[in-house]
């Protein structure tokens, strides 16, 4: 059973450019969340998608946008890249609707390391 996959593994961009990161959720999962992890910090929530809609958003500017496709895969887009956007971007999938704390278990991919020069 394939877990959460992300592509690409690494990416180097320059300031002002745009980037698209991709995520395929674990089989059977319908919800995808994106996190940004700066070096030495815990992951910070960007947004979550369910039924192709953004359901919840963290404290990130509109330069960060996303999309979820009918097959539950997802993309994270970042426009007008800044040096501070350099980080590990993590995708996590889960199943909406499971009871209590069990339904909140999120399965993370290995991440995409983005470097902005």
Partner 1 sequence: DAKTTQPNSMESNEEEPVHLPCNHSTISGTDYIHWYRQLPSQGPEYVIHGLTSNVNNRMASLAIAEDRKSSTLILHRATLRDAAVYYCILRDVPLNYGGSQGNLIFGKGTKLSVKP
Residue 107, interface with partner 1 (CB under 8 A)?
A: yes
| Residues 109, 7 contacting (CB under 8 angstroms) | no
**Which of 24, 29, 43, 114: binder of partner 1 (CB under 8 A)?**
43
- Measured between alpha carbons, how far apart are the two ends of the chain, in Å? 37
Q: Which helix (H) or strand (E) holds 53?
A: strand 53-57
- Among candidates 37, 52, 25, which has minimal Cα distance to 106? 25
**Which of 14, 17, 27, 105: binder of partner 1 (CB under 8 A)?**
105
Site string for partner 1, 72-91 (x = CB under 8 A): ------------------x-
Q: Give dist(CA 42, CA 88) in Å, integer.
A: 10
Q: For binding to partner 1 (CB under 8 A), which residues are involved?
A: 4, 31, 33, 35, 40-45, 48, 50-51, 53, 55-56, 58, 90, 92, 94, 96-97, 100-111
């Amino acid at each position: 059973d394939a877990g959460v996959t992300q592509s690409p593994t690494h990416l180097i961009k320059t300031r002002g450019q745009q980037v698209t990161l991709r995520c395929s959720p674990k089989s059977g999962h319908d919800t995808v969340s994106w996190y940004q992890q700066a070096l030495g910090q815990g992951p910070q929530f960007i947004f979550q998608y369910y039924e192709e809609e953004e359901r919840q958003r963290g404290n990130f500017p509109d330069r960060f946008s996303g999309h979820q496709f009918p097959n539950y895969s997802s993309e994270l887009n970042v426009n007008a890249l800044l040096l501070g956007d350099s980080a590990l971007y993590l995708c996590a999938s889960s199943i909406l609707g499971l009871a209590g704390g069990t339904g909140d278990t999120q399965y993370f991919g290995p991440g995409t390391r983005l470097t902005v020069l």
